[in-house]
Amino acid sequence: MALQFGAGNLTVTGVAIARLMNLNFNITYDTAPLRGGNRIFADNIALYNGAIEGSFEVGNIEITAIAGMFGAGIAGAATSGTMTITATQVLGGDGTTWTGKDIVCSCVTNGVTGLLTFYNCKFNTLGVTIDRENYTLPKTDFVVQGAANGDMMKWQI
């Protein structure tokens, strides 16, 4: 599933990160057939191992805000333009904990604003492409863990 938009902004746990360039996410489940007696065909299908996973690519980045996405083990001074990752860093945590972050994507297409929120996400990849024509475009993969109340995501248009 992909969300199309004209202009998008990315906010992670209340902090503006960058201009949202691309966003992709998938909602998946594993299935198991349920049979009774000597039936060959399933009476029902059970869903389990549900997951929401996705990725986003951003431009016009705020490097220290991106450093903040990945936890206390990554240092970046507010105006330094520097991000340092320690040897014990876990994306989304400080090496001992893995703190989830809420991702909010605000998108405007033809004057219509869409808001997509993913709750308590863990980032498992940070890829950076440095291209002569496209400049620096970080790409991050994430997995949605969900809020304490059971909400996984919200899509508002």
Q: What is the pLDDT of residues 13-41, one digit of tens each?
A: 777 777 888 888 999 999 999 998 889 99
Dist CA 34 CA 26 (whole Å): 25
What's the start-to-end Cα distance of the chain, in Å? Answer: 16
CATH of domain 7-156: 2.40.30
What single-letter amino acid sits at 90? V
Nearest CA-CA partner of 63 in 84, 45, 91, 37: 84
What pLDDT is stored for residue 51 in this prediction?
92
Which whole number is the average pLDDT over 106-122? 81
User: What is the domain partition of the chain in residue ranges?
Assistant: 7-156
Q: Are 10 and 59 in contact (CB under 8 A)?
A: no
3-state secondary structure of 152: coil
